Amino acid sequence: MTAAYDRLKARFARIALLGEAQSMLHWDASAMMPPGGAAARGEQLAALAGLAHDLLTAPEVGDDLAAATAGGAWDAPNLALMRRAHARAAALPTALVEAMAIANSACEARWREAKAAADFAMVRPRLEEVVRLQREMAAALAAALGLDPYDALMEGYQRGVTAAELEPVFAAYEAFLREALPQAEAIQARRPAPVPLPGPFPVERQRALCRALSERVGLDYAHARLDESLHPFCGGTPTDIRLTTFYAEADVAKALMGVLHETGHAQYERGLPAAWARQPVGEAAGMAAHESQSLIVEMQACRSDAFLGFLGGELHRAFGGDPALYSVPNLAAQWRRVGRGFIRVDADELTYPAHVILRFRLERALIEGRLAVADLPAAWNEGLHGLLGITPPDDAQGCLQDIHWHDGAFGYFPSYTLGAMAAAQLMRAARRDRPEIDAALARGEMQPLMGWLREKVHGQGARLGFQDLLRHATGKPLDPADFTAHLRARYLQ
């Protein structure tokens, strides 16, 4: 280890502390802040981001990165991640960064109006500007990093996987879905329709149940809070997790499954290697890895027959009514229901990847200049029809539904499906290594699964990229067959 590397560690710790402050202010803005605080909060966050950028791109950083040496299983990747973060930041001219901040913010504001009016033309000029700048950013990053332009954007969210690797995975999934979806629908149609649980579900009791279930997953409320926000998320820092959810009196599943999902994210953050806190290698491995942790808790574990059996009893205790309503088949009939829909965030786990595949193809075409923004609505509708056989009635339910592109987030969408696939692969490996997992889930005990994840995933930090992390945990890189096997078992039998 060198003095240069030590200086870099101190600098990156400072940058990480600014990130922690930003994370807290972001949580506050969503869960606590009165509306009149919004303008100042935007300026506070921009100032912190600007200071972090200045720290990352200061002239002496380049010198220290050139001089530094570090070896070993953690310091070597830590230094490599420092170099990558610096290279990404240094590749972007300040004028471009500022232009993107302005364009993204303006487009996002207009997008809210356009979505409400279901009028793509309203946002089109601003989205064109966003896409123009994203292409510029992708080109600058690509040149500096030696990547394809779209891969350079994707790397900003998940390191260690390329579009070239994704393409055949997604093509194979499309083929699988073409057969599997009609079969699943037919099987579902032959079964009894779900009988709704007896609501309304008082918010106080939902809150207590959500908290108790997140504690079962392992969340320690000496290091966490659970609050409410319009769009649920997991924020905060590894020692101070801030979960949010949204309680609907008519639908207990919304908050319940939402909190279990966010608790999966939370446990990843809690389990990151404390010895490497505030260093690049001590962070999570990326957004796809993060999504694998929320989905392994929510989709793999908590929607399993084993856990639904336990959960039904808890729900009956909390909300009463006919015990038969809380049977595994009735809960499964409503919480594992498949169907063709327009909206990604409402999709079931079988059709969700179709929404992601559509967006992956479109955003890649936009960045590579093969698709014009003006042609996006038609391409969207055609693509969705090709994947799911349905056509949105308007653009609000089509290409205007997601905030991502309008806020300048290109290359993020694949993370959702990579996470779902990784969750299935990790669950299979965990069951192999810890055969007691399902019996424990039936008793509402998550420890065998979470203990395995802590060792194999959480505790690895960002030491490994996506494919290498899967290799380390499961013995193989991404293998979508584990995901389709999971779907076959759950929906096609």
Residues annotated within a binding site for Zn(2+): 261, 265, 291
Q: Please pick, from the candidates 100, 163, 209, 224, the single residue that binds a second copy as defined by CB under 8 A.
A: 224
Task: DSSP for 136-199, please give it.
Answer: HHHHHHHHHHTS-HHHHHHHTTBSS--HHHHHHHHHHHHHHHHHHHHHHHHHHHHSPPPPPP--
Minimum CB distance to a second copy, residue 456 (Å): 24
CB of 61 to a second copy, least distance (A): 15
Q: Which residues pair with 251 in a beta bridge?
A: 248
The residue count for binding a second copy (CB under 8 A) is 34
Closer of 11 and 488 to a second copy (Cβ)? 11
Backbone angles phi, psi at 234, to 5 degrees: -115, 115
Q: How deeply is 265 buried, as exposed, middle or buried, from its count of CB atoms within 10 A (0-12, 13-18, 19+)?
A: buried
Residues linked to residue 248 through DSSP beta bridges, in sequence order: 251
Q: How far is the CB of 44 from a second copy (least distance, A)?
A: 5
Burial class of 238 by CB neighbour count within 10 A (0 to 12, 13 to 18, 19+): buried
Asked whether position 41 contacts a second copy by CB under 8 A, the answer is yes
Q: Which residues are the active-site residues?
A: 262
Question: How many C-beta atoms surround the C-beta of residue 34 within 10 A?
Answer: 6
Position 51 contacts a second copy (CB under 8 A) = yes
Range 8-37, binding a second copy (CB under 8 A): 14, 17-18, 20-21, 24-25, 28, 32-37
Kindly state the smallest distance separating residue 51's Cβ from a second copy, in Å. Answer: 6
Q: Which of 66, 95, 189, 222 binds a second copy (CB under 8 A)?
A: 222
The reply to whether 97 sits near a second copy by the rule CB under 8 A is no
Rounded least distance, CB 15 to a second copy, Å: 9
Helix (H, G, I), strand (E, B) or coil at 292: helix
DSSP 190-236: HSPPPPPP-----HHHHHHHHHHHHHHHT--GGGEEEEE-SS--EEE
**Can you tell me which of 185, 215, 240, 468 binds a second copy, judged by CB under 8 A?**
240
Q: Does 99 bind a second copy (CB under 8 A)?
A: no
Q: Is 223 in the site for a second copy (CB under 8 A)?
A: yes
State which residue, 273 or 419, has the beta carbon closest to a second copy.
273
**Of residues 14 and 83, the one with the C-beta less far from a second copy:** 14
Integer Cα distance of 420 and 299 in angstroms: 9
Span from 39-47, 342-350, 371-379, 432-440 in contact with a second copy (CB under 8 A): 39-47
Query: What's the angle, vertex CA 141, arms to CA 136 and CA 143, rounded to 5?
Result: 95
- The reply on whether position 39 binds a second copy by CB under 8 A is yes
| Span near a second copy by CB under 8 A; candidates 188-196, 214-222, 323-331, 343-351 | 214-222
Nearest alpha carbon to residue 234 among 245, 249, 220: 245
- Dihedral Cα 460, 462, 463, 465, nearest 10 deg: 110
Binding site for a second copy (CB under 8 A): 14, 17-18, 20-21, 24-25, 28, 32-37, 39-41, 43-44, 47-48, 50-51, 220-225, 236-240
